[in-house]
């Protein structure tokens, strides 16, 4: 399974992913590049900024990504969006 496939599987299993989760859970260091490649393959993502505090109490923010759904449906067989 390549890194793009791992990201799509993770999104189907957990609903969303951050760059931190991509590194820690999947070992993907160039997460932004993989998202770009997935977009070029026709996938669409929504994102939101998440604000939290780090272990030292300093505010940090990061993006969380979700697969966009079209007409409320997503094809689960190959994880591509149905248009």
Question: What share of the chain in percent tops pLDDT 70?
Answer: 82
**pTM for the full model?**
0.78
Match 């940090």 to its residue by tokens. 60
Domain range summary for the chain, segments of one domain joined by +: 3-67
Q: How many residues does the chain have?
A: 83
Q: Choose among 64, 15, 13: nearest CA to 35.
A: 64
Match 């859970």 to its residue by tokens. 25
pLDDT band at 50 (very low <50, low <70, confident <90, very high): very high
Residue 78 belongs to what H/E stretch? none
Please check the confidence at residue 38 and state whether its pLDDT lies above 90: yes
- 12-35 pLDDT, tens digit per residue, is 999 999 999 999 999 999 999 999
- What is residue 39's predicted lDDT score, i.e. its pLDDT? 96
């Amino acid at each position: 399974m390549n890194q793009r496939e791992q990201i799509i599987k993770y999104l189907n299993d957990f609903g969303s992913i951050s760059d931190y989760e991509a590194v820690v859970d999947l070992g993907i260091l160039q997460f932004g590049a993989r998202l770009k490649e997935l977009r070029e393959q026709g996938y669409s993502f929504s994102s939101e900024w998440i604000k939290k505090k780090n272990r030292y109490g300093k505010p940090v923010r990061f993006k969380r990504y979700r697969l966009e759904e079209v007409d409320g449906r997503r094809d689960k067989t190959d994880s591509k969006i149905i248009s």
